[in-house]
Structure 1
Amino acid sequence: MIRDVSRSYRRALADTVEHFTGGAYRPSQKEIDDLKAEGCWNNDWEGARELIYRYFERQGSPRSQVPLDYKRLVIFFEERYSGKDWSGYIQDEPLLVDVAYFQTLDQAQIHWGFVSGAPRDSAEYVLKHRLGLAQPLLIAMEDAPGKPDPTGLRMAYRQVTDQETIPAFYVGDTVADMQTVANARKEQATTPWIALGVIPPHVKPEDRQLYGDRLRAAGASAVFERTCDITPAVVAAFLGQLAAHDSNGGQ
C-alpha cells in the first residue's frame, strides 16, 4: 500500500454511485470498507456497479431491470479519478512511502514490485511521475485477472526468480489482497507465500481493530499501521521464523 486512496478512488466510487442513483444514495467510507471486506470487489468500477444494484434492490427493483450502462459508468468514474491530463482526484492521493523506502529494500537485497488492479497508465503515473521510481516491476489491470485471482502475483514472482522456493511477501490493505496470497499457495505450494496487511489511513481509530481482524481472518500473518513499518528487519524476522519452522520439520 503506497497511497491513500480515500480521497481519490473511493471518492470517485462514491461520486459514481451517487450519480447513477440520481443523487439518492452516496456510500460512506465504512460502507465501501464493508463491501471490500467481502473479498471480491477489488475493481472499483465493479464495486460501484454492485453498490448501485444493491441500492435499487433495496427499493424493490431487481438488478436485471436496472438500466445501467457499464461503459458509461467507467467513463464517469475515470473522468473524476483521472481527469484530463491527470488533473482529477488522482492528484489528491497522499503518498505513504517514498523512494528512500525502496532504497532500503534494495540495500537489503530485497526484490520488490507491484501487483495493481489499476489500469497501467494510472499506476505508472503514480509510480514513475509522483513517486519517482524509474522502472518498477508492475503487473497492472491489463496484464492479469483481478484479485483475489493469484495470476498477477505469480507473474510478478516469475519476473524476479525462476525458482519456486524463494519466500514471497505480499503487502496489501484489503481482504482481496490477503485472499490473493491464500490462492497463490493453492496454485504454487512450493513457494512460502506470506501475506502482510496494512490498515489504510482513512479507517477511524475505533474501527482499526476490526479492520485488522478482517485482514487476519483473510490470511494476513501480521498487520501493520503503515507500509514503511515493514522494514528489512521485519522481513528478516519472518525469514528467521520460516527457517526455524523448516529446521523443526515443519512442526
Structure 2
Amino acid sequence: MTAQGIAVFDIDGVVRDVGQSYRRAIADTVEQFTGGAFRPTLDQIDGLKAEGIWNNDWLGSQELIYRYYEGQGQSRESISLTYDEVVDYFQRQYRGANLEDPSQWDGYINQEPLLMGAPYLQQLAAAGIAWGFFSGATRGSADYVLQRRIGLQFPPLVAMGEAPDKPDPLGLLKVVEQLTHSLGLSPTLPVLYAGDTVADLYTIREAQSQAPDRPWWAVGVLPPHVQEPGPRRQAYEQRLWDAGAHRVVSRVTDLTPGAIGQLFREGA
C-alpha cells in the first residue's frame, strides 16, 4: 500500500468526550477556589479556550479564578493561590483520590465516552494513512485512554510536558518525525492534524511556517457538547473556521480514509 500521508489527532474532545470530565474538573476547581461564588459554564470555558492560549486546563482554571477576583476589584497579586494547589485539586477531581495508580482511578476520567476506537485506526493504516497523537493531556491520562481503554500498544504520542504547550508546533513535528522515521515515509507527505480548539488549529499554522516542505491540513472537530444544531454550534464552528480550519467535521470518524485522501489530493 502506497503511503498517502499522516493523520495526527488531539485527544480531548476528539478521541474522548471530556465535557463531563476535564471541563467539569475546571468548573469544580474554579468553584472551589472562589469559595463557591463562581462556577463557569461550558460556554464560558469555551470562550476562554477560544483565546487560543489556554490549552493547559490547570492554567486555564487558574486564569478563570484570577479573572473572577479581578471582577471583584482584587489584584492577582493579592490572591492567595498557588499553581500547585490548583493542579492538586483538579487532579483529585479528574483522576480520584489515588493520583498515581491508574488501576485505582475513580474520578471523572472513568466517565469519558470514547469517540474513536481501534477499528477506525486500522482502517486508516490499511489505506496507507499513518497515524499518531499530539495532546495537551498528561502522559498518564493519554496512556489511560489510548492503551487501557482503546487497546493500542505504545501508540505514537507526544503528551503534556514532552513538548511546549500548543500552539507551539514542536510536539506535532515530533510525532510526524517519529512516524516518518519508523515507517520509512517520504519527508514531503501531507500531514493532517485534527483538534477541537483554536489552539489546535493555530498549531498547524505554526507547523506550516516551520516545516514548509510538506502540506499541512487543519481539521476542526466539533466536541460533543456543541453537537446540537443552533447558535452555540454555529458560533463554535465559526471559531474553528476563523482559526484556520481547512475542514470542520462533526466527529473524528467523519474523517474516513476516503475523506482524508480527498483532502490530501487537493494539495497535490
TM bucket normalised to smaller: over 0.9
CA shift, 1:165, in A, is: 1.3
What residue identity is the alignment partner of 1:228? T
Residue in 1 that maps onto 2:86: 73
CA-CA distance at 1:242 after TM superposition: 1.1
Residue 109 of structure 1 deviates from its aligned partner by: 1.5
SS of structure 1 residue aligned to 2:267: helix
Letter in 1 for 2:145: V
Q: CA deviation at 1:164?
A: 3.4
The one of 196, 199, 203 equivalent to 2:219 is 196
1:102-251 correspondence runs (5 A) = 102-162=121-181, 163-203=186-226, 204-206=228-230, 207-243=232-268
Q: Deviations over 1:179-235 (max 9, x none)?
A: 000011111111211000110110143211111111011011010001000000001
Report the secondary structure of 1:144's partner residue. Answer: coil
Show CA shifts across 1:92-147 (max 9, x none). 10001111111101111211011011110111011000111112111011210111
CA distance in 2, matches of 1:46, 1:141: 13
Higher relative contact order (CA 8 A, sep 6+): 2
Two-structure CA RMSD over aligned residues (Å)? 0.9
Q: Structure 1 unaligned runs (5+)?
A: 244-251
- Counterpart code for 1:20: F
Aligned residue pairs total 243
Distance (Å, rounded) in 1 between the aligned partners of 2:216 and 2:68: 38
Deviations 1:51-97 (A, max 9, x none): 00000000000112111111011000000101122111000100011
Distance, in Å, in 1 between the alignment partners of 2:46 and 2:167 is 16
Identical aligned pairs, as a percentage?
Answer: 52
Q: TM-score, structure 2 length as denominator?
A: 0.89
Cα distance in 2 for partners of 1:135, 1:71 equals 30
Distance (whole Å) between structure 2 residues aligned to residue 32 and residue 16 of structure 1: 12
The alpha-carbon deviation at position 176 of structure 1 amounts to 0.4
> In structure 1, the residue corresponding to 2:161 is in which secondary structure?
coil
Q: Which runs of 5+ in 2 are unaligned?
A: 1-13, 99-103
User: Which consecutive segments of 4 or more residues in structure 1 shift more than 3 A?
Assistant: none
Q: Report the equivalent of 2:95.
A: 82
For the residues of structure 1 that align with 2:166 and 2:187, how far apart are their CA atoms?
A: 21
Which residue does the alignment assign to 1:37? 50
Name the CA distance, whole Å, in 1 between partners of 2:190 and 2:152.
24
Aligned residue identity for 1:182: R
User: Partner residue of 1:246?
Assistant: none
Please tell me whether residue 20 in structure 1 is matched to residue 44 in structure 2: no
3-state SS of the aligned residue for 2:189?
A: coil
My pick for the range that moved more, 154-163 or 84-93, is: 154-163
Match of 1:249 in 2: none
